[in-house]
Amino acid sequence: MTVTALDPRSALVVIDLQAGIAAMPVQPHPAAEVIARSAALADAFRSHGLPVVLVRVSFAADGSDAPVGRTEVAGSGATLPEGWDVIVDELSGHPEDVVVTKRNWGAFYGTDLDLQLRRRGVTQIVLTGIATSIGVESTARAAHEHGYHVTLATDAMSDRSAEAHRASVEQLFPRLGETGTTEEILGLLAAAHG
């Protein structure tokens, strides 16, 4: 854990904390803990006038806007239940937050996330969410490629397996940015914005 600083214009970007994804079993941190820590970060960012971006994944009912391409893991083909893509209550209800809807793993491709961040003068993003090795990792990679400083709140994210989470946190994230706990990030935020 080496998080050292937060830029004056940082933004919190929360990945896929929505009803259907938050209901999945995840490891090593239960979804309720990921949500609570993300909500604490969101409250702190809002209190300092810093942007909070809530990213959700959603598709048309007929699947016409779902990603295409051959993979070795077939989609379930099941119809997604009504409301599966609704942001969890603990994070919703703040009209000043930016909501980005994606149709891929990462939050940059095919969305206006970069535009929303740049309009607000953001130079650094703090990432949380589910799943660590999918949506969070894809977004962290793209943020790094877009020239943002990246901080990853590793106790405010989780995955379908502890091994996948650990591989991202230990092997990849140190190459994309800095990692730290929610408490460490909250401490830096308080120190930077007094």
Domain boundaries, the chain: 10-58+84-193
CATH of 10-58+84-193, one of 3.40.50.850, 1.10.760.10, 2.50.20.10, 2.40.30.200: 3.40.50.850
Tell me the CA distances in angstroms from 114 to 78, 145, 173, 182, one per residue in order: 32, 11, 20, 24
Residue 33 pLDDT > 70, yes or no?
A: yes
Tell me the CA distances in angstroms from 43 to 26, 70, 114, 152, 153, one per residue in order: 24, 41, 22, 17, 15
Spatial separation of the C-alpha atoms in residues 77 and 80, rounded to whole Å? 9
Residues 6+ apart with CB under 8 A from 164: 131, 132, 133
Task: Check residue 193 and give its pLDDT.
Answer: 81
Spatial separation of the C-alpha atoms in residues 154 and 125, rounded to whole Å? 14
| pTM, full prediction | 0.94
Q: How confident is the model at residue 124 (pLDDT cuts 50, 70, 90)?
A: very high
Q: How confident is the model at residue 154 (pLDDT cuts 50, 70, 90)?
A: very high
Helix ranges (H only) for the chain are 19-22, 31-47, 113-119, 137-145, 162-167, 173-176, 182-193
Work out the burial of residue 87: count CB atoms within 10 Å of its CB; fewer than 13 is exposed, 13-18 middle, 19 or more buried: buried
Better-scored residue on pLDDT, 137 or 73 = 137
Q: How confident is the model at residue 21 (pLDDT cuts 50, 70, 90)?
A: very high
Is the bond leading into 131 cis (omega within 30 degrees of zero)? yes
**Of the candidates 129, 125, 127, which has an alpha carbon nearest to the alpha carbon of residue 56?**
129
Average pLDDT over residues 77-84: 71
Spatial separation of the C-alpha atoms in residues 15 and 130, rounded to whole Å? 6
Residue 136 pLDDT > 90, yes or no?
A: yes
